[in-house]
Structure 1
Amino acid sequence: MNTVYNSASRLSQETSYYVYTMWAALLFSALFAVYRGDWITVFVSILTLALSMYALHMSRKVGLRVPSSLLTATIFFIYFSLFWGEVYNYYERFWWWDVLLHAWSAIGFGLIGAITLIFIFRRNKVVASPFMISVFAFSFSLAIGALWEIVEFGLDIFLGWNLQKSGLFDTMGDLIVDTGGALIGAGAAYVYLRWNVRTFFASLMREVFDENISLP
């Protein structure tokens, strides 16, 4: 038991180190951008910092214990998509950057959708089949992907950004990748709930359940 506790504590400390280092880099970037008069970088740096801090705040506020690995992945996703994607122009330099992040987010939201529904049903003592939970997870992930395309469109129109690049082709490509990622996330949830098969993605679900075993 002590070994498990020490390992978890060490992982939490490493996670804090990585996250705090990232926050320090963002703050330095924002201050340096102010000195250069690069207001786009200032905006993106502050937005990335604020969203990542908000993710940490919400994980503590909602009463769920979010595993450090999942929380770190969420914060770094915000960092990679906003800061590296826009400030370092990775979306233009690497064609696969946008595809990777859309797939990553779709898989993650698929798992989050399944976990959320399971906790809701558990609290209200409602039984649902693995198939129905997976359908909800898939739909939830795809809805988030579609909502993000609307956000990209709004930023392009009102802030003069160029997130959608080639317009319809880029949007449809993103939605196709979102669909594939949602299928992977929902499929991993179904396989785990139906047959208790421990895939990499299912292990994240198991970690969430273990961290919140005392919840009703």
Structure 2
Amino acid sequence: MPKAFVELRGRPLLRWALDQALGCPEVGRLVVVAPASWLVAARDIVAEALAESGRGPCDEEPGVRVDVVVGGEERRESVSAGLGVLGVDDGLVLVHDAARALTPPALFSRVVDALRSGHGAVVPGLPVADTIKTVDEAGTVVSTLDRGTLRAIQTPQGFVREVLVHAHEENLEVAVTDDAGLVELTGTPIHVVDGEAWAAKITTPEDLDAAERRLATVGGRP
């Protein structure tokens, strides 16, 4: 089962992520990327989220536009598929992982505000608490990094659309773990804003348990 459809408190992570994104007033369009065999399920989840958010289309307002498209085998292919349905009017793009399902709307707004202030690429990050060492293939410590200069990077990651499109076009064969890594290769400065503990990734049973405990402390809603 894709991570986005794993349930937390009886709701798919995708639904949690949509609810949080729709809680950000700056978000006016969403593109959900899903495997082909899960498109119908994704569309159903999107429809429910829009209906309950009050941000779906109505007589008075056009509402948030949502596209659901087929992704690829790799993250880069999925992001490219999402970019493919955007137009020139979609000037700012946020790339978000549904696995970071409890990311608060305030973090989306923080990233958007930084983009609007003039940055071409923005990522949220948290200070690293643990000591980080580089280790060779034999398991021997090579060096100890200054954790004061390190940040654990989260999503949503924000970009001026042209910056992200260019990065994807220029680095087709480079292996990276996030879109900021692609943009970094183009020489575009990447600005870091404060991240959120709520934006932790939920990928393992232990992560799900931790999210359950965290939700229990706030009455079930982040």
TM-score normalised by structure 2 residue count: 0.29
Structure with the largest fraction of strand: 2
Structure with the largest fraction of helix: 1
TM-score normalised by structure 1 residue count: 0.30
